[in-house]
Amino acid sequence: MLRALLILCLAAVLTAPVAAEQPPLQLAALDSKRYLPSPDALIAKTLDAVRASRLDEALQEVERVIALRPDFRLAHLIKGDLLLARARPLPTLGAVPSKGAEQSLSDLREEARLRLLSYLDQPNPNLLPRNLLQLAPADKYILLADTSRARLYLFENVQGEPRLLRDYYLTIGRNGTDKRIEGDKRTPLGVYTITSQMPRNKLSDFYGSGAFPINYPNEWDQAQGRGGHGIWLHGTPPDTYNRAPRASDGCLVLTNPDLTELGQWVKPGTPFVITDRVEWLEREAWTEQRQKLLDKLVQWRSDWENRDPEAFLQHYAASFLQGQGRGWADAKRRNILDKSWIRVALSETSLYLYGGDQMAVASFQQDYASDKLSDATRKRLYLRQEAGDWRIVLEKAIDSDKRVAGLAR
């Protein structure tokens, strides 16, 4: 039966038989305001019917998908298997001999696995993403990519906390993540910003309904010697509904309808966090993680205001204070002790976590005043866990943080 086909071939998702009565599947952010019917919503209904062994209903739903999007290859594959399942059991998804098509089938099987996983394992609305800890008031919306699940989440900023609005199927680089050099066909991991919006009429058909370049390589990438550029979030060619989970040269790719919808909220300056895996936390654990970083910023500012250069420099990693950093530290000592008083105010603070590197990024407005100087700047601190404490590994002023993206990757 196709039920065994689609469920068992996605064994990483399900490991036990499914009862006849199943709750309806739904996209995480599906609501009455979203355009309907969408191909993704109908694929969800198709898989829901398959899980409950309602094969005629599943066939009807997948035919609706194909009517909407004749270029949706996965829908055609599921329809073919549904028809074949009437005659004989099928051992795997796409169990029709096709010489030279195994790689394409492998991509489609992986797409089916990831789509089903996203439908069955939705984010709990009571949990919060570990990567987004504090949102600055100016950042109304935030993007978070989970590359291992081929999913892009859009969050709304609600009083500094992320609220999930939408989620989308996502394609990344054909060689995975952790971009290091130009041409490696990998997608970068880190905390980035949308730098511009490129409309369809300024691009070739390859980019579909438009593109949003991001600021890769950011300051931390540059400090690590990572190369390449021109990483965009963009659409697909007009004759292609979507691409395989890993199919780009490093960019992040959505379907054209999804990219168009996303354009209602995303604009230059929108934060974009890309991670291997999103971890969802209970509110208590999420709040504790956020407070540790906020406390670190408060102590960093207090030691500066108290004109205690040694305590202030303890907030920086040893690697930061070596080489050229040694001269910076000596100048900082003199600068602090040269003042009779110092006042530092931090506002518009955002806090984001990298993935497995145990790194955080804090961005804020810094208003500095002393008996000899006053100034205001936007600042970004990169912090890393060292011996159980957060220490600064890179500090940058970002008032003129503008980058024009090219096409190389």
- Please write the tens of the pLDDT for every residue from 173-198: 999 999 999 999 999 999 999 999 99
Same domain, 243 and 327: no
Residue 404 counted as domain residue: no
Three-state secondary structure string covering 267-306: CCCCEEEEECCCCEECHHHHHHHHHHHHHHHHHHHHHHHC
Same domain, 98 and 137: no
Overall domain count for the chain: 3
Q: Is the pLDDT of residue 218 over 80?
A: yes
Question: Where are the strands (E) in 22-175, listed by range?
Answer: 128-129, 132-134, 141-146, 151-158, 161-169, 172-173
Same domain, 99 and 158: no
Q: Please tell me the predicted confidence (pLDDT) of residue 356.
A: 66
Q: Give 197-216 pLDDT, tens digit per residue.
A: 999 999 999 999 999 999 99
Q: Give the tokens for residue 115.
A: 């789509």
What is the span of the domain harbouring residue 169? 128-280
Which of 94, 120, 146 lies at the terminal end of a domain, its last residue?
120
Q: Give 278-300 pLDDT, tens digit per residue.
A: 999 999 999 999 999 999 999 99
Q: What's the predicted TM-score (pTM) here?
A: 0.85
Same domain, 300 and 269: no
Q: Is the pLDDT of residue 36 over 60?
A: no
* Angle separating helix axes 55-68 and 39-51, nearest 10 degrees: 170
Q: Could you count the other beta carbons within 10 Å of the beta carbon of residue 243?
A: 21
Q: Give 123-141 pLDDT, tens digit per residue.
A: 898 999 999 999 999 999 9
Q: Is the pLDDT of residue 29 over 60?
A: no
Same domain, 87 and 115: yes
Contacts of 396 (CB under 8 A, 6+ apart): 219, 379, 380
Same domain, 110 and 135: no
Which of 91, 120, 149 lies at the terminal end of a domain, its last residue?
120
Burial 14-24 (b: 16+ CB within 10 A, else e): eeeeeeeeeee
Residue with tokens 């600055």: 136
Contacts of 69 (CB under 8 A, 6+ apart): 39, 75, 241
Same domain, 341 and 388: yes
Cα(256)–Cα(40) distance, integer angstroms: 13
**133 touches 289 (CB < 8 A):** yes
Question: Where are the strands (E) in 20-77, listed by range?
Answer: none
